[in-house]
Structure 1
Amino acid sequence: MKRVLVSVKSVQRDMNGEDTVVELISPGSFYEKNGVQYVRYEESSVTGLDGVKTTIKIYPDSIVLMRTGAVNMRHQYIRGQEREAIYETPYGDMHMAVKTHELTMNFPEKGTSAEDGLVGFVHLGYDISIQGEWQFYNQLDIHVREDKEHGHERNPETRN
């Protein structure tokens, strides 16, 4: 397991063309298990998801974004496809559909870092509809950099 810093920039564009930008940098972890790469980090009050843990599973042609805590969700993003999901909140469940328009990712084998410490990145663009009605377009840029201050740690979960 490698300790990393996860930088997330989210741009939401509503039906009036107004953008809301949220940026977060959070300590996290990166590891590979059974050919799948994982990025884990905690959300904060900046994103409105304080105390929520986010896990990104990186596959060759898709990613799965999972959140657990005050809200629970699991979305799979595959370019050109629409996927349904349930977003569980303390106020009730929302049925959502996510149509992925953009998906670019680059996480080199075995999580090697570039000279600037970049472990990998994800660029994701998708439409969200709730209860069948379009809500907004969201764009996520996630950069995972090696945490040079804290380095590696063992995790019994990954047996590395």
Structure 2
Amino acid sequence: MHKVKIEISSNRIDEPPIEVVYFGSMEEKEENALIRYSESELTGMEGVFTELLIRGDHLEIVRTGKVEARMVFKEKVQDRFLYAMEMGTLNMVLKTDKLHIHRTGGGYAIEIRYQLEIGGNPPEGNDMKIRITRN
């Protein structure tokens, strides 16, 4: 297990990005990696634990704690999931348009372009970049 820095930049298409930095751990086995970190008060998600599971051609983001959700990012694939919060549960649909997972020395660089539909509303385009580096 390695200590890692996780830098995430996320935005709706044509809007400025929101950038956050976390510190967590990473375990690797062959083509797979498991990155774990705790969300912060700054994002309004204190009490939420996040796992990034890199599995060859796709990425899973699993949230537990005050939020329960499992999102699967796989290019050209649509994923339906429930996003459970203390105040209720939302149905969401995630369609990954583009996913690039690059191995970089001791970490990863991930780029995702996806559409997210929340509670039946029209889907919105989003870009996310995740950079994972060993501490």
Same fold (TM over 0.5): yes
Determine if contact 2:31/2:56 at 8 Å carries over to the other structure. Answer: no
Q: Does 1:43 align with 2:39?
A: yes
Normalising by the residue count of structure 1, what TM-score does the alignment of the two structures yield? 0.77
Determine if contact 1:22/1:46 at 8 Å carries over to the other structure. Answer: no
Determine if contact 1:127/1:134 at 8 Å carries over to the other structure. Answer: no
Determine if contact 1:22/1:47 at 8 Å carries over to the other structure. Answer: no
Q: Which residue of 2 aligns with 1:130?
A: 118
Looking at structure 2, the residues matched to 5 and 140 of structure 1 have their Cα atoms a distance apart, in angstroms, of 16
Determine if contact 1:105/1:120 at 8 Å carries over to the other structure. Answer: yes
Number of residue pairs the alignment of both structures matches: 135
How much does 1:83 deviate? 0.8
Structure with the bigger percentage of strand: 2
Q: Does 1:95 align with 2:91?
A: yes
Query: Counterpart of 1:122 in structure 2: which amino acid?
Result: I
Query: Counterpart of 1:9 in structure 2: which amino acid?
Result: S
Structure (1 or 2) with the larger CA radius of gyration:
1
Looking at structure 2, the residues matched to 80 and 54 of structure 1 have their Cα atoms a distance apart, in angstroms, of 24
How much does 1:36 deviate? 2.2
1:54 alignment partner, one of 50, 71, 89: 50
Give the share of equivalent positions with the same residue, in percent: 26
Determine if contact 2:26/2:33 at 8 Å carries over to the other structure. Answer: yes
How much does 1:33 deviate? 4.1
